[in-house]
């Protein structure tokens, strides 16, 4: 039986007006895992760390170092957003590689509906992340520059700079598209590849693809976080003519 992965996430049930798709369900699972881990790691924060605190410190310190090497004195404002993007995306990506994802489900008439689906293989998730990223970037830009300097980035009396500013403004919209589709495309393609290869021969053969997906899952999380960081740094810098 050929499994076809739908581009859109499948709806499982509804809570009031909210249709709960399998990606929404998985998103909640990821949220629980992240918050559960955070709670476990910071239950007793001690100078001599417990193993789980040690791991959390390693993760936070590595990212913090990376962010502060780019953002400098704005690290405190940028870091929580960047780190949340990274942790949310990487946990979602890796969770989607677990057995049971895309395979456990039920049949709805002729259609197979998996119960869980990798969160970033749904454009809703990645688009939401990209929107948060870009809106947060602009919010921070206004906060650091003030509204006047922020607007000067886009609007100028000099026609050449006005034209450049308008192009850059259009670039802000393509940011949303590129951020969301890059993440969605990579993860969705990975899912499709894994499903296809598993259907060809389910033993041993998919293993290299799983390793590949482990790398992709990490790299895409890092790319999303780093691009957001770079956009933030660039946009919060004063425009100099």
Note the residues at the interface with other proteins (CB under 8 A): 6-9, 17-19, 21, 24, 27-28, 31, 34-35, 38-39, 41-42, 45-47, 49, 53, 56-57, 60-61, 64, 79-81, 83-84, 87-88, 122-125, 127-129, 131-132
CB of 24 to other proteins, least distance (A): 6
Q: Between residues 86 and 101, which has the closer beta carbon with respect to other proteins?
A: 86
Q: Output 23-27 pairs: Cβ under 8 A, ≥24 positions apart.
A: 23/117, 23/118, 23/119, 23/121, 23/122, 23/124, 23/125, 25/115, 25/116, 26/92, 26/95, 26/96, 26/101, 26/116, 26/117, 26/118, 26/119, 27/92, 27/119, 27/125
Q: Between residues 49 and 152, which has the closer beta carbon with respect to other proteins?
A: 49
CB of 60 to other proteins, least distance (A): 5
Q: Between residues 101 and 206, which has the closer beta carbon with respect to other proteins?
A: 101
Q: Between residues 7 and 207, which has the closer beta carbon with respect to other proteins?
A: 7
CB of 147 to other proteins, least distance (A): 23
CB of 23 to other proteins, least distance (A): 8
Q: Which residue has the tokens 């239950």?
A: 43
- Which residues touch 184 (CB under 8 Å, ≥6 apart)? 120, 121, 122, 123, 125, 126, 127
Q: What is the dihedral of CA 172, 177, 179, 185, to 10 degrees?
A: -170
19 DSSP β-pair partners:
14
Q: Can you give the C-alpha Rg of the chain in angstroms?
A: 21
CB of 64 to other proteins, least distance (A): 6
Q: Between residues 79 and 101, which has the closer beta carbon with respect to other proteins?
A: 79
């Amino acid at each position: 039986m050929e499994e076809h992965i739908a581009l859109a996430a499948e709806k499982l049930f509804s809570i009031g007006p909210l249709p709960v798709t399998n990606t929404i369900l998985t998103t909640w699972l990821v949220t629980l895992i992240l918050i559960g881990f955070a709670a476990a790691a910071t239950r007793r924060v001690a100078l001599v760390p417990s193993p789980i605190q040690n791991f959390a410190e390693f993760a936070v310190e590595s990212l913090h170092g990376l962010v502060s090497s780019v953002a400098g004195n704005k690290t405190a404002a940028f870091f929580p957003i960047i780190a949340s993007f990274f942790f949310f995306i990487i946990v979602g990506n890796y969770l989607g590689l677990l057995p049971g994802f895309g395979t456990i489900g039920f049949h709805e008439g002729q259609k197979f509906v998996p119960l869980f689906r990798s969160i970033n293989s749904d454009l809703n998730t990645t688009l939401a992340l990209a929107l948060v990223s870009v809106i947060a970037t602009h919010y921070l830009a206004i906060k650091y520059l003030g509204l006047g300097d922020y607007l000067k980035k886009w609007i100028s009396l000099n026609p050449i700079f006005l034209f450049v500013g308008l192009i850059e403004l259009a670039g802000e919209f393509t940011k949303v598209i590129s951020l969301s589709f890059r993440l969605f495309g990579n993860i969705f393609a990975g899912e499709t590849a894994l499903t296809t290869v598993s259907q060809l021969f389910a033993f041993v053969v998919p293993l290299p693809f799983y390793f590949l997906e482990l790398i992709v899952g990490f790299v895409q999380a890092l790319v999303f976080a780093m691009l957001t960081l770079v956009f933030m740094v660039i946009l919060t810098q004063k425009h100099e003519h």
